[in-house]
Structure 1
């Protein structure tokens, strides 16, 4: 549902960080969903290798397959929300299903069914929630450009708390306690969404008539979908490197990092997973302010160039980590923990230039009636990306740690090159053939 053409918020409009109050509902709903998701993810590899006695290669493949399935189901969930369920019902059903799956993780016998249940619920929840952001803003509202960055902070607030709470409970009191905490977080997400739904855009339930009216796509809409599909394909390559965070990076924190701070205390392994969202909190306000300031002076970097820069930074972070790991192995010692902290800082700075920017690009370019589907397409890149990440993770036991991180750095660098090349070609071609597309990509 679109608002009127007025671009300025009314004086009486209740706001959250300068945005419609509905964004706070989506912000907090996603925060607690991410708490549950990342809480479980922070424990998953350790749980498989330490409790279930899975070998490293098999555990990496299971992790990659699960993470891939999590990003595969939104494709069908997004279509179901757009055509049959509606976004609100899809979020409610998805959140309830995910909560059930997290509580099932408390039973070792239900390990595989629990993973499937979480992934299925996520398929309905993920695209249906994020696609509601666009409807909060009037046509032309300048706040919509930074809305996805604010939303991304909510994502990372949950991701920051998850390793500290779920990771601590899992390591200190037992894995099942950590998984139970993740389930409670999912229930909190559902309660917040239900309580705040009055602040969200009202939608009419999809009907056969509206489905029929949505089917034909004009040439401009088709070009957008093809363009977004191409970008998603490149993001697959990037995610092959990025998704090592919860996989081989977690393993390196266990076997390759000296985590001792004092004589009697070492940093818990899962706590390092909190560094990524912590940097997001610190850097996002600065980046948004910087981009806004540059835009006022007529310097507005195209989205694809921002994404290419981000992928390049992530690649550089892995190359630096490769040097640290190689030196440590040559010295017969573990790398000191500040190196891993520094890696997370640099990697996350790169992440901020690609993941929230890409999400916003897909949200803005979605044709009318295909909002959840296009958001699902963005997350679908995570499906193949996590499959790639899982396959690359099997090299962990074959290569030295330094060589492994070198390979991952090259993967991220390749994605950066592809994004930059596409960005340059789009800018040249579309200015002549399709100026509307160029404008949207540049935002």
Structure 2
């Protein structure tokens, strides 16, 4: 079998294999497994870290998460273009991995968190929270005095003083104070709460860490998949199998991360969970560097000599991209601290680009080329809704797990994010085999039909949670964990109907001269979907104090209402797409 040098030229050197595949696949499998370990380990903790450590309100925390996720999906478009034109995929992966290691370890620096102060009369107490799981307790601290309290929409109660609280409420007395100590009960309106944001370096370092991760993913994410493609000749029958193995690596890393990082972060401290994510990314970087010989020069730069001989400001051209990667972190850091700019501008940018592509298709193309491109754009449009609903996993569904789901003692809210990758590892091969089995009998659903199934399934998952919230919650206003698992199961089945065929659909339906542009539109649509997901997640927000929800009943009702709305939206839009699927299939002009 042939191999290539850095520039892609063929040589006659026999290539060594591992289990029938190029040895380089082992390197890429392990690198991506550890990279996804770091990414999903951090993601599992992020929203809870924002709400419980920095005391961002749920609405603000979910806005920050949405902006972060949107940029994570947008930056690979830029990183892919830089690699294709200058760096090559391998060098881009190394730059990205170094930035990711720095970002993940920086996340382990907690710094000063937020501080909530409660003022009753002339006395101010600092609210301190013990624990990070569902058994969190709030203490009001003033000097040597430390009192456990509960805070609800009715007022502030000293734990153990419920009878006094009831008497105060009946008498409509703002506060019932004893001779000494914390008041037994203070009715709403008789106290004030203030969140202090004097965090020192904690908050700037948080956003710097997120920015390093965003830029690092931009260099690494798309390009490591490209290296997998370079391992195989164009018509190599092992190619699809290689990508399947690579996909298993992604989800295996996700399962391990959400279990291990979530456990350490919630039980021992945020720094331990984020630090483990950093260790995972470091292992990925070491694996990739030590495994260079197994990659046999695949994914090298298009012009290796230029990177070394061409000088810019006296530096090798390659060094400019290392420096540029660091410089790019600064504007991202500024944007992350003003996430509303991203929420406002990105949808307009995406709409402008989408309209421009539609205009190009209508004016420049004819016949089958035009109809196929219009079908591709239509499916991209529908995919935005799917991802906006599906990506509630990192935000509103994580907070739902924390605030409104009954957890076993050995489980915690971030661990629920292991359901999705775990189901993919188990069910992914089964679904893939099902499509092959149906295809041999000319019964495989078309791409538009698969997209419609995905929308119906993701909507059905939210409708299940709505029903469970209304009928299955206990006296503590928490639903059994089983229903959240079943929701993730339905969502994952939807993902398996849409995600694996999405990029394939783009390459099959797009005109050759604009395939790269259409790939960019696909990633941009995913980025916009995360912004939309943020708006949805923010609608589920209810009041919290010191990171603890004040009214579990209201929280559950709000989740049930919003989940019902988006659930029916997904189902109805999915049915509409199913009705349109014969027309779209006809427009695909012979492509399945």
User: How does the TM-score come out when normalised to structure 2?
Assistant: 0.63
1:74 paired with 2:218, answer: no
Check the 8 A contact 1:157/1:277 in 2, yes or no: yes
CA distance in 1, matches of 2:273, 2:446: 41
2:219 to 97, 116, 124: 124
| Change beyond 3 A, Cα 1:206–1:233 | farther
Secondary structure in structure 2 of the residue aligned to 1:400: helix
1:182 to 253, 267, 277: 277
* Offset at residue 246 of structure 1 (A): 1.3
| Change beyond 3 A, Cα 1:112–1:229 | farther
- Corresponding residue of 1:104: 106
| Change beyond 3 A, Cα 1:313–1:259 | same
Cα-to-partner distance string for 1:268-316 (whole Å, 9 max, x where unaligned): 2222111111111110121222222222333333233223212221111
Secondary structure in structure 1 of the residue aligned to 2:393: coil
1:167 paired with 2:325, answer: no
Cα-to-partner distance string for 1:78-107 (whole Å, 9 max, x where unaligned): 211112221111111111111111111122
| Change beyond 3 A, Cα 1:257–1:64 | same
CA distance in 2, matches of 1:147, 1:417: 34
| Change beyond 3 A, Cα 1:352–1:430 | closer
CA distance in 2, matches of 1:224, 1:124: 31
Stretch deviating more after TM superposition (219-228 or 240-249): 219-228
Secondary structure in structure 1 of the residue aligned to 2:431: helix
Check the 8 A contact 1:64/1:387 in 2, yes or no: yes
- Corresponding residue of 2:525: 381
Check the 8 A contact 2:455/2:494 in 1, yes or no: yes
Check the 8 A contact 2:89/2:300 in 1, yes or no: no
2:501 to 322, 338, 357: 357
Matches within 5 A, 1:285-434: 285-328=429-472, 333-362=477-506, 376-397=520-541, 400-413=558-571, 416-417=574-575, 420=578, 423-431=581-589
User: How does the TM-score come out when normalised to structure 1?
Assistant: 0.83
- Corresponding residue of 1:93: 95
| Change beyond 3 A, Cα 1:135–1:412 | farther
Cα-to-partner distance string for 1:337-393 (whole Å, 9 max, x where unaligned): 222222222221222111222234346667779887665543332211110011111
Cα-to-partner distance string for 1:226-273 (whole Å, 9 max, x where unaligned): 76454333222111100101111111111111113xxxx342222211
Matches within 5 A, 1:20-99: 20-99=22-101
CA distance in 2, matches of 1:223, 1:207: 37
Check the 8 A contact 2:372/2:588 in 1, yes or no: no
> Structure 2: any 5+ residue segments left out of the alignment?
5-13, 112-201, 307-360, 543-556
| Change beyond 3 A, Cα 1:24–1:235 | farther
CA distance in 2, matches of 1:147, 1:227: 29
> Structure 1: any 5+ residue segments left out of the alignment?
5-10, 211-216
* Offset at residue 189 of structure 1 (A): 1.7
Stretch deviating more after TM superposition (383-392 or 105-114): 105-114
| Change beyond 3 A, Cα 1:302–1:193 | farther
Instruction: Give 1 or 2: higher helix fraction.
Output: 1
Instruction: Give 1 or 2: higher strand fraction.
Output: 2
* Offset at residue 406 of structure 1 (A): 1.1
Stretch deviating more after TM superposition (371-380 or 401-410): 371-380
CA distance in 1, matches of 2:574, 2:30: 32
Check the 8 A contact 2:448/2:584 in 1, yes or no: no
| Change beyond 3 A, Cα 1:151–1:95 | same
1:256 to 396, 404, 410: 404
Higher relative contact order (CA 8 A, sep 6+): 1
Secondary structure in structure 1 of the residue aligned to 2:227: coil
Secondary structure in structure 2 of the residue aligned to 1:397: coil
Check the 8 A contact 2:90/2:227 in 1, yes or no: no
| Change beyond 3 A, Cα 1:301–1:193 | farther
Matches within 5 A, 1:278-289: 278-289=422-433
User: How many residues were matched structurally?
Assistant: 415
RMSD over equivalenced CA pairs, Å: 3.3
